[in-house]
Amino acid sequence: MNKTILLAGFLSMMHLDADAQSFIGRQTPSVKDRTFTPELLWAMGRIGSADASPDGKQVTYNVSYYSVSENKSHTVIYSIDTDGKNERLLTKANTSEVAPQYIQGGKRIAFLALDDEMNMQVWSMLTDGTDRRQLSFEKEDVEDFMFSPDEKKVILLKTIKYGQRTSDIHPDLQNTSGRVINDLMYRHWDEWVETIPHPFLAHFDGTKISGAKDILEGEPYECPMKPFGGMEQLDFSPDSKMVAYTCRKLEGKEYACSTDADIYLYNIETGQTKNLCKPAGYRRPAVDYTESLKNQSVNDGNFNGYDANPAFSPDGKYIAWQSMERDGYESDKIRLMVCELATGKKTDLTLDYAANVDAFCWATDSKDIFILSVWHGTTHINMVSIDKKNDLGSTLIQSVTGGQYDYISLTPCGKQLLCGRQSMKQATELYLVDPAACIKEMKEIQKKYSESTSKQEPKSVRQLTHENQYFYDNIDWGNVEPRWCSATDGQSILSWIITPPNFNPNKKYPTLLFCEGGPQSPVSQFWSFRWNMMIMAANGYVVVAPNRRGLPGFGVEWNEEISENYGGQCMNDYFSAIDDAADNLPYVDKDRLGCVGASFGGFSVYWLAGHHNKRFKAFIAHDGIFNLEQQYLETEEMWFANWDMGGAYWNGHSKTFDNSPHRFVDKWDTPILCIQGEKDYRIVTSQAMSAFNAAQLRGIPSQLLIFPDENHWVLKPQNGILWQRTYFNWLDKYVKNPIGERTESYLVPEIANE
């Protein structure tokens, strides 16, 4: 999935924060015994969007802070010189101000802030934070914005009404809460679909934004696409005459069952729109929406999968975008597609490249493109040449960075790249990367090491921000090391082994098997503010985090092994990884093992609970799938269910549905904690409730933690603290300090007698 979060997701929090009486900013709380706690985790700053000045001498960026006592967040804008000096807090209002971008040649910074009517609008200020001016005066919230290169135009993202309300059909029932549903996709992620985002093209005279016109006026389609799409799904041409945008022009059942998004070119002068991915007059073939599209003839040589995130080359000759080939498969290989605008010729620059293109940006010379790709558990920058080939005749792709890190964003900054970077030991900070120097260094490094993503990092990478240095200096941190083991089919599995602070290899530690979600999301060097490896380590646990079958970064075949095989090799990989650790790492206490995970990781927990043969002392499942038949009809994005499960259960896809965790509850014999958000429409609350009820009826120690106001994630500070406390209370009770050997004292008689 696209991990970019639409700024609209922050709007509700911004409006709530408007009532805040105190400024929530950078925190330096007291640290007891140098121990990392959930409260300290929530006190850390969270770096968000960033932009570089045109001359590459200054950077502006967002940081979000959270107050647990007030249960609120607050986002501010900083700037810093690219020599690392002169960090400045530019916004000091009690309300959040976001999305800073340089305009007017770098003399001013545009951003989003509330106006007197409590609507989010575009503002600007001088680079020292003074001379604040309101630029837009829309009646609705502006959710994001983008200025054209000539700065005479601006795209405003705003929300428009979608469909009819019940009160539209029955005007005399203005206060009814009932919804009359006639088609699919009536709710998505965490909302009932009653509004959709649209891009509005407006004029800018240097002081005021006006005349906003809906580019998709009269079209009932999202742009950008929910739930994760943002302004990266649109771009201006360098001459400011064209807008490229991403859109899936489907509704209802077609939208719910297809991933077919395309790249469109909108001519600002004529108002005409051209689809770059389909020929004129194209019509989608009829398909059976209860079957997986992989088994149907929908791929006709056109671009039928996800095509998203267009970006014009600086010279205007090309447009590039990320592309998936197959309709209905949201985790297909992400290709880098380039179209020569003069001829319409399209080229897959990553045809022979085994990894995904997770993000990209053009080099200033329009001859190269920088990409982010995960490979063997780390995400790094590579440079793709438009017209150069390697010795094998494939596109020349060169490594730019290395080391045990994840690079998560790319922004041109003069001759350098401004990048967000994180690891399991460090929250996101901003770094400056000199590509030319780094490529030379990486070639030397690769002569010494077999892996391009070795622990060696180019010296030409420089850390720019130190937002959370206080925490790094005052807390003892765990360690993270890679470990490879053999799978049951002879292939090799990479796991990250996380050990506690002040680690003693001669001591026995309780150990957790971490099960990743997605299902096809990498176990790379991610930093999470909930599933945080350093918090688990600080609580005295070793963590084994495998890159099991069905994850990117190990080739297409490895990634696709999971489809229609949820209970197959991916589960064997989990057993192989935890058994290897228990048998070969002397500090892993095989008598104190726990198993935790969320989303597909939650499914994994429920499935492993019925197959683990008494390996584990306790389980924790967050937002997990318990009943696959139930999930097939409850989830909103049917393309996902159809592809991964093979189609509807009534069509006889027994390979998938016979492996549903609920079918193995009779084998459950271990304490289990089930966690769920009631606003999660991806995996509905009934899944966790069913699992908890089953455990209760079986007489198994179990607990249910429900958040009525959370979705697939836990976003509110006090809910996050409650999550952590409940999580570790459960593990401490049953894993760290188990009740001796497992006995029959808490099992129903029929289990005890087996």
Segment 642-685, tens digit of pLDDT: 999 999 999 987 788 999 999 999 999 999 999 999 999 999 99
Mean pLDDT of the 1-28 span: 59
Say what the pLDDT of residue 752 is.
35
> Could you give the C-alpha distances from 34 to 501, 518, 539, 731, in angstroms and in order?
10, 34, 12, 22
> Across the chain, what does the average pLDDT equal?
93
Residue 381 resides in a domain: no
Handedness of CA 444, 448, 453, 459 (dihedral sign): negative
Q: What is the per-residue pLDDT across 476-501, written as a single tens digit (0 to 9) for each?
A: 999 999 999 999 999 999 999 999 99
The fraction of the chain above a pLDDT of 70, given in percent, is 94
Residue 721 resides in a domain: yes
Backbone angles phi, psi at 109, to 5 degrees: -120, 125
Quickly list DSSP for 400-448: ---SS-EEEEEEEETTEEEEEEEETTEEEEEEEE-HHHHHHHHHHHHHH
Q: How far apart are CA 449 and CA 465, in angstroms?
A: 30
Q: How far apart are CA 674 and CA 348, in angstroms?
A: 44
Say what the pLDDT of residue 6 is.
39
**Contact between residue 109 and residue 79 where contact means Cβ atoms under 8 Å apart:** yes
Q: How confident is the model at residue 296 (pLDDT cuts 50, 70, 90)?
A: confident
Residue 540 resides in a domain: yes
Q: How confident is the model at residue 742 (pLDDT cuts 50, 70, 90)?
A: very low
Question: Which residues are within 8 A (CB) of 547 and not within 5 positions of it... i.e. 6 or more apart?
Answer: 376, 377, 493, 494, 495, 516, 522, 523, 553, 554
Residue 433 resides in a domain: no
Whether residue 736 is predicted with pLDDT greater than 50 in this model: the reply is yes
Backbone angles phi, psi at 727, to 5 degrees: -60, -50
Residue 588 resides in a domain: yes
Q: How far apart are CA 726 and CA 598, in angstroms?
A: 15
Say what the pLDDT of residue 512 is.
98
Give the up-direction half-sphere exposure of residue 223: CA atoms within 13 A in the CB hemisphere.
34
Range of the domain at 687: 479-553+568-631+669-735
Terminal CA-CA length for the chain: 43
Q: What is the CATH number of the domain that holds 726?
A: 3.40.50.1820
Residue 7 resides in a domain: no
Whether residue 598 is predicted with pLDDT greater than 80 in this model: the reply is yes
Say what the pLDDT of residue 751 is.
35
Whether residue 328 is predicted with pLDDT greater than 70 in this model: the reply is yes
Whether residue 745 is predicted with pLDDT greater than 90 in this model: the reply is no
**Contact between residue 479 and residue 499 where contact means Cβ atoms under 8 Å apart:** yes
Say what the pLDDT of residue 301 is.
79
Tell me how far the alpha carbon of residue 142 is from its chain's centroid. 23
Q: What is the per-residue pLDDT across 118-173, written as a single tens digit (0 to 9) for each?
A: 999 999 999 999 999 999 999 999 999 999 999 999 999 999 999 999 999 999 99
Whether residue 464 is predicted with pLDDT greater than 90 in this model: the reply is yes
Q: What is the per-residue pLDDT across 57-72, written as a single tens digit (0 to 9) for each?
A: 999 999 999 999 999 9
Q: pTM here?
A: 0.95
- A 10 A CB-CB count for 30 gives 6
Q: How many residues does the chain have?
A: 754
Quickly list DSSP for 70-89: TTEEEEEEEEEETTS---EE
Residue 185 resides in a domain: no
Q: How confident is the model at residue 743 (pLDDT cuts 50, 70, 90)?
A: very low
Whether residue 2 is predicted with pLDDT greater than 80 in this model: the reply is no
Supply the angle between the helices 569-584 and 600-609 in degrees, to the nearest 10: 70
Q: How confident is the model at residue 750 (pLDDT cuts 50, 70, 90)?
A: very low
**Contact between residue 15 and residue 143 where contact means Cβ atoms under 8 Å apart:** no
Give the up-direction half-sphere exposure of residue 427: CA atoms within 13 A in the CB hemisphere.
25
Q: How confident is the model at residue 455 (pLDDT cuts 50, 70, 90)?
A: low
Q: How confident is the model at residue 21 (pLDDT cuts 50, 70, 90)?
A: low
Query: What is the domain count for the chain?
Result: 1
SS3 state at 35: coil
Say what the pLDDT of residue 503 is.
98
Mean pLDDT of the 108-116 span: 97
Say what the pLDDT of residue 655 is.
82
Q: How confident is the model at residue 754 (pLDDT cuts 50, 70, 90)?
A: very low
Residue 714 resides in a domain: yes
Mean pLDDT lowest for which of 2-16, 122-136, 567-581, 586-600?
Answer: 2-16
Q: How far apart are CA 513 and CA 615, in angstroms?
A: 11
Q: How confident is the model at residue 15 (pLDDT cuts 50, 70, 90)?
A: low
Residues with catalytic function: 599, 680, 712
Whether residue 336 is predicted with pLDDT greater than 50 in this model: the reply is yes
> Could you give the C-alpha distances from 155 to 53, 220, 310, 749, in angstroms and in order?
20, 19, 15, 66
Say what the pLDDT of residue 428 is.
98
